[in-house]
């Protein structure tokens, strides 16, 4: 969450291994997105990173 004056921006990054692959969004994430749609001082941005190589799920 970034605070810039009175504007609050929520940032969500989604990754996929292929540019044609869809990404998963949980019910909770969708509910937050929907709840922020009517608020003027809050935004929810989704950034997608694709063609990310498959790994062994290690954090790097």
Predicted pLDDT of residue 3:
61
Residue 11 included in any domain? yes
Residue 45 included in any domain? yes
Query: Which helix (H) or strand (E) is 4 found in, with range?
Result: strand 2-4
Residue 54 included in any domain? no
pLDDT digits (tens, 9 = 90+) for 23-60: 889 999 899 888 888 888 888 889 998 887 777 665 55
Give the domain range for residue 35: 2-49
Q: How many domains does the chain have?
A: 1
Asked if 4 contacts 41 with a C-beta cutoff of 8 angstroms, the reply is no
Residue 57 included in any domain? no
Predicted pLDDT of residue 36:
85
Residue 25 included in any domain? yes
What is the pairing mode between strands 7-15 and 42-49? parallel
With a CB cutoff of 8 Å and minimum separation 6, the contacts of 23 are 14, 15, 16, 48
Residue 28 included in any domain? yes
Residue 58 included in any domain? no
Residue 60 included in any domain? no
Predicted pLDDT of residue 47:
92
């Amino acid at each position: 969450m970034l605070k810039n004056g009175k504007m609050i921006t929520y940032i969500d990054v989604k990754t996929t291994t292929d540019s044609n692959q869809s990404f998963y969004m949980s019910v909770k994430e969708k509910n937050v997105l929907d709840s922020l749609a009517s608020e003027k001082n809050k935004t929810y941005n989704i950034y997608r990173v694709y063609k990310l190589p498959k790994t062994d799920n290690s954090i790097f």
